[in-house]
Structure 1
Amino acid sequence: MFFDDGDGFVKCSCGRRHWGVHGAAGLLIVDPARGVLLQRRAWWLHHGRTWAIPGGALRSTESALQAAMREATEEAAVPREAVRFTASSIDDHGTWSYTTVLAATRTRVSERTSSAETAELSWIAPDEVDGYRLHRDFAAAWPELRAQLRRSLVLVVDGDTVARVPGTAPGPRGAPRPELTWQELTGLVRDGIGARDVGIGPGPHWRWWPRVELAVPGDGAPTDRAGIEVVPAGHGIGAAEHTLRMADRAVRSGEHVVVVTADDRVRAGAHRAGARTLDPRALRALARATG
């Protein structure tokens, strides 16, 4: 058997042994039609014959996100292009940590047991997960994870804050100077945002990969550009009204919603709708710190 440099047990400060010299990670995939993908571990593994998510030890050269995706591919043949990362939660013991990466299916996943570590794979409805013999640590984490399964962070961005949408004409002369660039927004989509930075989620141990909805004036159909949905207001609809409509729709669908605006009227309306707000300059600082 081939061993990675992260393989091995750690005697943790919590008094238990954990697998993964550099920590461990796993991928929790949710499909709206089929539930969550769980793996029954082979009998010979640590906590064998229990159900959990595909996962394993981090290599010294990879992030938790990379490790979770690699393990899902190795153990369940999940292709990277089939999922969209939504969030992660880290259980940090100081001497060891486990990161659960949450993902939603983009396309149907044709899973199969592709490793000797996997005895069985099954899509299980969230309401039925507690009825299975779960891995001890997954059982402890499941209630909090379940509450966030179908939620995403949606950034509703007032289009006046962005320098220019690629492929469109420059803004009118005299328009307010933008506080965000397109590159900074795409960087946040790629790198994610800490929960404490935007004040959402169960706690600071969470991180979110946002969906960005950019409210822009004019007519036309919404388009997806580099993971950012550009949503025209339509004829006769003002920028403030358009931004608030988008925020209200996202709140009603159960998402975590942050409206990015420098407009006091939009800020007040977003709060009434149940969304949080963030000044564009604060989001720019986050983008620069992440990048």
Structure 2
Amino acid sequence: MLAAIAAVSTVTPAFAKEKPPVFVVTAPVKDKPVVTIDPAKAYILLRSDNPVPLYLMKVPTAEDQALYDKTRAAAFVEARQKYEKKQASYLKAKAEAVKTPGLSVPEEPVEPTDANFEFVPFEMLASVGIGPTNRLSKSKDVSTYLQEVTPGTYRVYGQMLVMNGTAGGSCFCMGSVKFDAPAGKIVDLGVIDKADKVEKVSGDSSQPVLIGEKPLFRSAGPGETLDPRIINQTVVAAKFMPVGKLPNYFGLTITRIPEMSGVFRYDRDRMIDLTTGS
């Protein structure tokens, strides 16, 4: 189902000497006799008719953004310091080459600027992978996942898996949705049905993955009851909101979430927000 795509290290430049900040603390809720809910955490519930990966990215709060900006600034200072040392070595070698014909000169280092400085995007520091393993329960017809996360707002980035430095799957880079995950509650994303097979469009260099027209998430039916271990917890249906296009951080094949009734529709490649009419 998944193909190894791009090493994550190619899009995650080095940090400053300090450890990177933690924006999201997450863990799957394991299949145990009793499920305990931490009122300080949020929980995301997902069901699928077969094992499935889903990748989320947290939307930064004002506090998140301030901490991220501070961390990036520190890394930029370190990059400048390294550049100055390399530049001094380069100038010294260049001067020596003038006095010693035939002596090779190293390539001149590129001066880091705010415009060309590469730093890990916030979203890649605040991601959550759900599935396809670590299910809360499984049966012949359904896999149930329950993921503990830091409370906040999360974008649905794609049906993809990041593991051991590689990413595989597809991203909803051409259109996606977000939802709130408040503390002390279980947010039910609904059910992901098995995707219909759709032929790819030949000659499209973007390598789109077409997933059909039926909704990605549907509400659970009458026979799809909650796991009895969480039936007495506060479970709320996810309130989806459109978020438009997202960067293709991992160099994956791209697709988009199908239209959602009452949430959004597409006008060619533009999302029309049906929650606000814009």
TM norm structure 2: 0.27
Using CA pairs under 8 Å that are at least 6 residues apart, name the structure with larger relative contact order, 1 or 2. 2
Q: Which has the higher helix share?
A: 1
